[in-house]
């Protein structure tokens, strides 16, 4: 079965939600070592290597008069090749939404947010020469450590501030590696930082478990019948064989083809939230024939016309926004750039061979060899990085407390009396199931995402939010009576 072709680029990532015109103002005056006043912002480039320029956008929280007293949440988008400055920011949990209206569910009302266009080459970040692109997760993580060193030089008053790296999709794989490299650099005394943990959101940690979980997930969700299930399952099994043989380049092609197969058989299910409406038209580049001998590195950026909900439903598209009003606002900084792209084909292509490699061993190291906290968070409606796949690797991890974690209670968390998801934790590891959310958790379930984020970064629960240990205790009494 190789009707379907290839060349996909994929995409991962996604993000979400809200803001206002007025925000497009100049950075607020600073008081402490360049740190913007509460509710302010700053942006710019830090050169993580010669020829490698990383763009960041920092928003200080509105929740305290001294931003250094609140955690910094770094946001890493996926792809690889999607920039947090656009997706995570305007379509995620930044202070303004796609229409530049204020977003009252922005995380900035709780923490400082640092969006990175990572790796270099994504978003507004750029390299002088394409050969300067990082081509594996370790290289990407080392660039991020280098970024942090420069960040503290620029904003020394943040040195003691707790830092957590949140992420989405391929960003989760990069966040795991980043955490490990940060812990190593801190231990070696190479950097002074209060980096505390990572949150691996909708994360591409075990790519093959995600790929082989697509067929059963679709069957259970009523999106395919048994014969289509078998077609997809069989194709995904081929990908597993390639992964087991270490044929990484072909494995990525196989994964991409499995996506195309599913897209066709499901009339274009939305990989990022199976509840979203889609219409069954195919993109023009979807039906090329596949030749497995052909150079796999040909990546086309067609996935956005294929797998993504059209931004137009909600107004301005992210590309229009980032190349229009946002570009104008940042133009003094961005003078050398032609445009922002929602997904860099060059970055994806550079990481093609690394794409299907797992990071489970990295998560194990985070738990065994560092003091960092590790959270895994996933939306129940995400297909591409579905929750059943995350459970497979999480429950099979080799770290000393894994069986304690598996046996730990699973508590519900609520907002305004409604169940928004569940959490199960032991020691420094927590696993979050988020209800009514797909790939982009802050976009689909903003209130649930805030409860979760505050908990992960160690902020007190808000009045209307809860984690129901009591409910669990009560229900146990009833269950004990009946069974
Ligand atoms: C956020 O905005 C919505 C819609 O205007 C409103 O119903 C809600 O109360 C607001 N929430 C907060 C925390 O201000
Ligand atoms: C990964 O990237 C690093 C840094 O760019 C590089 O030194 C290393 O050779 C790369 N590893 C592989 C397997 O390509
Ligand atoms: C973890 O924290 C303990 C207590 O502060 C410290 O002794 C130890 O060196 C730390 N381990 C690592 C890997 O940083
Ligand atoms: C494992 O459990 C022990 C005992 O509860 C705890 O001290 C330790 O921090 C745990 N390790 C992790 C990685 O959670």
CA–CA distance, 441 with 377 (Å, rounded to integer)? 8
Q: Which residues, other chains included, contact 333 with Cβ-Cβ below 8 Å and sequence gap of 6+?
A: 43, 44, 45
Q: Which of 59, 178, 70, 71 is nearest to 118 (CA)?
A: 178
Ligand whose nearest atom lies closest to the CA of 446: 1
Phi, psi of 405 (to 5 degrees): -65, -45
Q: How much is the average pLDDT of 91-110?
A: 95
- Domain limit, last residue, from 316, 338, 368: 316
CA–CA distance, 154 with 209 (Å, rounded to integer)? 41
Q: Does a structural domain hold residue 482?
A: no
Which residues lie with the beta carbon below 6 Å from any ligand 3 atom? 187, 369-371
Cα of 329 vs centre of ligand 1, distance in Å, is 27
Q: Ligand 3: which of 183, 196, 371, 427 to mutate, most ligand atoms within 8 Å of CB?
A: 371
CA–CA distance, 303 with 319 (Å, rounded to integer)? 14
When pLDDT is cut at 50, 70 and 90, the band that residue 463 belongs to is confident
Ligand whose nearest atom lies closest to the CA of 49: 2
DSSP conformation letters of 189-239:
TS---EEEEEEEET--SSHHHHHHHHHHHHHHTTSS-HHHHHHHHHHHHHH
In this structure, the answer to whether residues 11 and 106 fall within a common structural domain is yes
Cα of 428 vs centre of ligand 4, distance in Å, is 7
Asked whether the beta carbons of 132 and 60 are under 8 A apart, the reply is: no
In this structure, the answer to whether residues 135 and 26 fall within a common structural domain is yes
Which residues lie with the beta carbon below 6 Å from any ligand 2 atom? 134-136, 138-139
C-alpha angle 45-49-50 in degrees, rounded to nearest 5:
95
When pLDDT is cut at 50, 70 and 90, the band that residue 482 belongs to is confident
pLDDT for 460 equals 95
Q: How far is CA 321 from CA 328, 345, 426, in A?
A: 10, 20, 42
Q: Whose CA is nearest to atom 12 of ligand 3?
A: 370
For the stretch 376-434, pLDDT in tens is 999 999 999 999 999 999 999 999 999 999 999 999 999 999 999 999 999 999 999 99
Catalytic-role residue among 61, 439, 440, 444? 439
In this structure, the answer to whether residues 66 and 189 fall within a common structural domain is yes
Closest atom of ligand 3 relative to the 187 alpha carbon: 14
Cα of 359 vs centre of ligand 4, distance in Å, is 21
CA–CA distance, 224 with 306 (Å, rounded to integer)? 19
Q: Does a structural domain hold residue 347?
A: no
In this structure, the answer to whether residues 93 and 218 fall within a common structural domain is no
From the number of C-beta atoms within 10 Å of its C-beta (0-12, 13-18, 19+), residue 221 rates as middle
CATH number at residue 195: 3.40.50.1820
Closest atom of ligand 3 relative to the 186 alpha carbon: 14
When pLDDT is cut at 50, 70 and 90, the band that residue 283 belongs to is low
Cα of 138 vs centre of ligand 2, distance in Å, is 7
In this structure, the answer to whether residues 259 and 216 fall within a common structural domain is yes
Phi, psi of 251 (to 5 degrees): -60, -40
Ligand whose nearest atom lies closest to the CA of 397: 4
Cα of 453 vs centre of ligand 1, distance in Å, is 19
pLDDT for 315 equals 56
Catalytic-role residue among 270, 296, 377, 382? 382
Ligand whose nearest atom lies closest to the CA of 367: 4
Domain range enclosing 392: 6-205+356-476
In the structure encoding, which two tokens stand for residue 122, read together? Answer: 């994504």
**Sign of the alpha-carbon dihedral angle for 10, 241, 375, 137:** negative
Closest atom of ligand 3 relative to the 371 alpha carbon: 1
Q: Does a structural domain hold residue 321?
A: no
312: left (phi over 0), alpha (psi -120 to 50) or beta: alpha
Phi, psi of 349 (to 5 degrees): -60, -40
Asked whether the beta carbons of 143 and 120 are under 8 A apart, the reply is: yes
In this structure, the answer to whether residues 177 and 262 fall within a common structural domain is no
Q: Does a structural domain hold residue 157?
A: yes
Q: Does a structural domain hold residue 329?
A: no
Beta bridge partner(s), residue 52: 49, 127
Q: How much is the average pLDDT of 426-447?
A: 97
In this structure, the answer to whether residues 229 and 197 fall within a common structural domain is no
CA–CA distance, 239 with 362 (Å, rounded to integer)? 22
Cα of 103 vs centre of ligand 1, distance in Å, is 9
- Domain limit, last residue, from 296, 316, 336: 316
Give yes or no for residue 316 having a pLDDT over 80: no
Asked whether the beta carbons of 375 and 424 are under 8 A apart, the reply is: no
pLDDT above 70 as % of the chain: 86
In the structure encoding, which two tokens stand for residue 352, read together? Answer: 């093609």
Give yes or no for residue 122 having a pLDDT over 90: yes
Asked whether the beta carbons of 140 and 77 are under 8 A apart, the reply is: no
Q: Ligand 4: which of 363, 427, 429, 431 to mutate, most ligand atoms within 8 Å of CB?
A: 427
Q: Does a structural domain hold residue 373?
A: yes
pLDDT for 31 equals 59
Closest atom of ligand 3 relative to the 183 alpha carbon: 14
Q: How much is the average pLDDT of 187-211?
A: 98
DSSP conformation letters of 73-139:
EEEE--TTT--TTTHHIIIIISSBBTTS-B-TT-GGGTSEEEEE--STTSTT-EESSGGGS--SHHH
Has 267 been annotated as catalytic?
Answer: no
**Sign of the alpha-carbon dihedral angle for 178, 179, 182, 187:** negative
Has 169 been annotated as catalytic?
Answer: yes
Catalytic-role residue among 125, 169, 193, 213? 169
- Residue matched to tokens 């949440």: 73
Q: Does a structural domain hold residue 105?
A: yes
In the structure encoding, which two tokens stand for residue 469, read together? Answer: 């240990």
Structure letter (DSSP) for residue 67: G
Full-prediction pTM beyond 0.85? yes
Helix (H) or strand (E) holding 188: none
From the DSSP assignment, how many helices (H) and strands (E) are in the chain?
Answer: 17, 14
Ligand whose nearest atom lies closest to the CA of 404: 4
Give yes or no for residue 249 having a pLDDT over 70: yes
Q: Which residues, other chains included, contact 438 with Cβ-Cβ below 8 Å and sequence gap of 6+?
A: 270, 272, 273, 274, 275, 276, 379, 381, 382, 383, 444
Give yes or no for residue 351 having a pLDDT over 90: yes
Give yes or no for residue 294 having a pLDDT over 90: no
CA–CA distance, 56 with 45 (Å, rounded to integer)? 6
Cα of 218 vs centre of ligand 2, distance in Å, is 36
C-beta 367 within 6 A of ligand 4: yes
CA–CA distance, 455 with 109 (Å, rounded to integer)? 15
In this structure, the answer to whether residues 26 and 116 fall within a common structural domain is yes
Q: Does a structural domain hold residue 44?
A: yes
In this structure, the answer to whether residues 373 and 429 fall within a common structural domain is yes
Has 382 been annotated as catalytic?
Answer: yes
CA–CA distance, 69 with 61 (Å, rounded to integer)? 10
In this structure, the answer to whether residues 112 and 141 fall within a common structural domain is yes
In this structure, the answer to whether residues 117 and 23 fall within a common structural domain is yes
Cα of 402 vs centre of ligand 4, distance in Å, is 10
C-beta 429 within 6 A of ligand 4: yes
CA–CA distance, 176 with 180 (Å, rounded to integer)? 6
CA–CA distance, 198 with 457 (Å, rounded to integer)? 9
- Domain limit, last residue, from 266, 295, 316: 316
The domain tally of the chain equals 2
In this structure, the answer to whether residues 468 and 365 fall within a common structural domain is yes
């Amino acid at each position: 079965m190789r009707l379907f072709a290839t060349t996909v680029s994929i995409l991962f990532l996604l993000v979400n939600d809200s803001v206002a015109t007025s925000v497009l103002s100049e950075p607020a005056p600073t008081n402490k070592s360049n740190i913007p006043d509460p509710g302010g912002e700053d942006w710019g480039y830090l050169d993580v290597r010669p020829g490698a320029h990383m763009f960041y956008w920092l928003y200080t929280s509105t929740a305290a008069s001294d931003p250094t007293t609140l955690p910094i949440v770094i946001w890493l988008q996926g792809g690889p090749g999607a920039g947090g400055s656009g997706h995570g920011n305007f379509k995620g949990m930044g202070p303004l939404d796609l229409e530049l209206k204020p977003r009252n569910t922005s995380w900035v009302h709780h923490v400082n947010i640092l969006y990175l266009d990572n790796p270099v080459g994504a978003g507004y970040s750029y390299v002088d020469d394409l050969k300067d692109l990082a081509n594996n997760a370790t290289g990407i993580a080392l660039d991020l450590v280098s970024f942090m060193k420069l960040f503290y030089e620029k904003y020394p008053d943040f040195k003691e501030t707790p830092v957590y790296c949140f992420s989405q999709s391929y960003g989760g794989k990069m966040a795991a590696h980043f955490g490990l490299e940060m812990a190593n650099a801190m231990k070696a005394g190479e950097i002074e930082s209060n980096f505390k943990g990572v949150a691996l959101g909708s994360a591409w940690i075990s790519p093959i478990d995600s790929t082989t979980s697509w067929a059963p997930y679709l069957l259970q969700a009523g999106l395919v019948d048994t014969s289509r299930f078998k077609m997809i399952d069989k194709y995904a099994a081929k990908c597993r064989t390639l992964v087991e043989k270490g044929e990484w380049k072909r494995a990525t092609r196989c994964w991409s083809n499995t996506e195309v197969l599913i897209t066709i058989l499901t009339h274009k299910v939305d990989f990022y939230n199976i509840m979203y409406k889609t219409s069954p038209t195919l993109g023009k580049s979807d039906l090329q024939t596949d030749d497995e001998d052909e150079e796999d590195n040909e990546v086309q950026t067609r996935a956005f016309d294929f797998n993504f909900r059209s931004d137009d439903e909600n107004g301005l598209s992210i590309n229009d926004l980032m190349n229009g009003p946002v570009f104008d606002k940042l133009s003094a900084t961005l003078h050398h750039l032609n445009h922002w792209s929602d997904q860099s084909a060059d970055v994806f292509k550079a990481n093609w061979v690394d794409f299907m490699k797992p990071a489970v061993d990295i998560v194990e190291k985070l738990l065994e060899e560092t003091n960092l906290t590790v959270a895994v968070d996933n939306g129940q409606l995400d297909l591409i990085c579905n929750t059943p796949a995350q459970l497979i690797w999480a429950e099979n991890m080799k770290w000393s407390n894994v069986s304690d974690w598996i046996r730990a209670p699973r508590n519900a968390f609520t907002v305004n009396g409604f169940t928004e998801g569940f959490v199960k934790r032991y020691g420094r590891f927590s696993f979050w199931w988020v209800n009514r959310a797909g790939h982009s958790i802050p976009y689909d379930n903003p209130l649930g995402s805030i409860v979760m984020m505050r908990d992960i970064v160690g902020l007190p629960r808000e009045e209307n939010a809860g984690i129901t240990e009591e409910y669990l205790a009560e229900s146990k009494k009833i269950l004990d009576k009946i069974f």
